[in-house]
A and B are shown apart, each in its own frame.
Chain A
Amino acid sequence: MRIINQKPSRSLALFLGILPFIALVVTYAIASHYRRLDNPADKLLPSIEQMMATFYRFAFVPDRRSGDLLLWTDTLDSLLRLGAGIAIATLLALIIGIAIGFIPVVRSALAPFLASFSLIPPITVLPILFIIFGLGEVSKIALIVFGTAPIMMRSTAQAVMDIPREMIIKAETLGASVWQMLMRLVIPQTMPKLISAIRLALVPGWIFLISAEAIASTSGLGYRVFLVRRYLAMDVILPYVIWITLLAFLIDRLLLALSIRIFPWHHLEGESL
C-alpha cells in the first residue's frame, strides 16, 4: 500500500508522537553525561536530576530573600500580563474587527489604517511605551496588545467578510436589524474563528511578554530566565523554558477544547489541529 494510505493504529500513533520527545531527552542525557565526565561542575548541560532538583526548589522551597515560591509568583505575574494583554486585544478584535468586516463605511475608514499600523514591528515601539507608560505593568501589557491586536482585528474582520453573503441576505429577509444580525449571526459565526485568532496570537503574545519582562521587570518568567542567564544557570533556564512551553501548550489546548465545547457546529467537519 502507498504510504499516503497507511494509517497508523491508535497505539502506534501515540508511540510515534512520543518518539521525538524521547529522542530529544535521550540525546540531551547522553551529551550531558559526557560533558560532566570531563567536568563534573559543567554548567552548560546540567544533569536532568539537577534540573529537577532546581525546579523543585523554585516550586516548593520559599526564596530565602523574598520568602516567595518563585516559580508560582513568576508564573502568576506573567500569566496576568499575558491574560490582560490578550483580553484587551480580543475585545478590540471583537469590536473593531467585526465593525470593519461588517460595515463598509467603517471598513473604508479603518482597514487601510489598520493594514499599515499592523506592519509596525511591535518591539520597536517598546521604548515609546516605556517613555509614555513608565516601566510598570502598563507598558508590558500595552506591548502585548500592540503585538497581537492588529493581526487579531484583521483576521476577525476577514472572518466576518467570509460569512457567505447569502446568509446575511437571508437574515435581512427574515426581518433582522443590523444589531440583531450582529447578535445572532455575525458574532456567533465569528466567535470560533476569534478563538483560533487568539490561539495564533498567543505565539507572538508570549514573545512580547518575555521580551518586555527581559528588558524591564522585577518578576515574571521572562525576568527570571534573563536574570539567571548572568550565572549561566542552565539548570534554571531549561526547566523554565519547558515550563513556559507547557503553559503555552495547555492554554492552546484549553482554548481548542473550549471552542469544541461551545461551538460544536464549527467542528463538525474536518479535523482541527
Chain B
Amino acid sequence: MSAQDTLISAQNIEKYYDQVPVLERINIDVEKGAFCTIVGASGCGKSTFLRMLLSQELPTRGQILLDGEKLPDEPTADRGIVFQKYSVFPHLTVEGNLLLSQEFDAAPLTGKLFGNAKKAALDKVNETLDKIGLSAARDKFPSQLSGGMQQRLAIAQALLKEPKILLLDEPFGALDPGIRLDMHELLLALWQDLNMTIFMVTHDLNEAFKLGTRMLVFDKIRHDPHAPNAYGATITYDLNIASCTQSNSQDAEMYFAKAPNSTEET
C-alpha cells in the first residue's frame, strides 16, 4: 500500500478514562475504499476507537490523520456516522431527514429550503428514497417505521452528505437476523456504488467477515493480575479478509472460540 492510498492513519493512539487505560499502542493505516470491520469483547474500546475517528472523543496521546491532516477536534461533515439508536431526527419525516444535509448547505440562516430550491433538492432525495426502498414512507415519521427502515434511513441520510468515511457503530445490533441480511446487501451495494471507506463496529463475527475487506480485532493482551486496570486493549488481529486464507480466518475463529465472553452476543 502506497502512502497516497492511506486515508486514515492512527499513530500511537492511547486513550485513558480517569487514568485507566482503555486503548493503547494503536497503530494502523487504512487505505481508501476499505471496508473495515471492528470486533472485540464488550468494553474493549472498539466503540471508543470509532468515537475517536469521529472526534466525538479525543485520544489522550497520539494522533489520527485523515488524508495526511490531523483530524479536527469535533465532528465534521467529512465523517458520516450511523449509531445503533437516535441516528435519525424524530421530528422530521423521512423526506425531511434526507433533505436536511442539503438544507444545511444551502440555507445558512434558516437551515430550510423553500419553493424551487426545495424542489431541486427533492430530486436528489427521491433518487435516494428509491434506492433504499422508502419512497412509500416518505411522509412518515421515524417512529412510524420499523427498526430496519430507520437504520436504512440513517445510512442514506449520512451518505447524502458524501462523507470521506462512513462510521457505523453497531448499526444492525438491534435488528432481526432476516432484516440484517437485507441491510448487509444494501450496505455492500452502496459501498461499491459510492467507493466509500467504511468503519463498522459489530458484535457479530459472521457479519464482520461477510462485509469487511479488513477486520480489526480489539482485545486486552497484557494482564497484570494485581492491577486488572493497568493495561488497555489494542489491535490484536488485523486481517485482510479480501485475500483472507483459510488458515488465518480459522485462526481468528479459534481465537474467538477460546474467549467465550467475547463477540457473538447475538
Contact = CB atoms under 8 A, between A and B. Distances in A.
Interface of A: 164, 166-167, 169-177, 179-180, 183-185, 188-189, 263-266, 268-269
Interface-central residue, A167, A169, A177, by most chain B CB under 10 Å: A169
12 contacts: A167-B87, A173-B80, A173-B158, A173-B161, A174-B158, A175-B101, A180-B107, A183-B110, A184-B100, A189-B89, A264-B141, A268-B144
A172 B83 CA distance: 14
B44 interface: no
Q: How large is the interface on B (under 10, 10 to 19, 20 to 34, 35 or more residues)?
A: 35 or more
B75 interface: yes
A174 B157 contact: yes
A192 to B, nearest CB: 9
The secondary structure that dominates the A interface is helix
Given A174-B100, A180-B108, A184-B100, A167 B81 contact: no
In the A-B complex, the 9 residue pairs with the smallest Cβ-Cβ separation, listed nearest first, are A180-B111, A175-B77, A166-B86, A164-B86, A172-B75, A174-B101, A184-B111, A265-B141, A183-B111
A265 B143 contact: yes
B264 interface: no
Nearest to A166: B86
Given A167-B89, A169-B56, A268-B143, 20 more contacts: A164-B85, A166-B87, A167-B86, A170-B158, A171-B89, A173-B54, A173-B75, A173-B79, A173-B81, A173-B158, A174-B104, A174-B161, A175-B104, A176-B100, A179-B108, A179-B109, A179-B111, A189-B89, A189-B90, A265-B141
A269 B91 contact: no
A185 to B, nearest CB: 7
Given A169-B75, A172-B75, A172-B76, A184 B86 contact: no
Interface string B84-117: 0111111110000000110111011111100000
A213 B56 CA distance: 53
B163 interface: yes
A170 B76 CA distance: 9
Contacts of A268: 141, 143-144
Contact of B81 (A164, A170, A265): A170
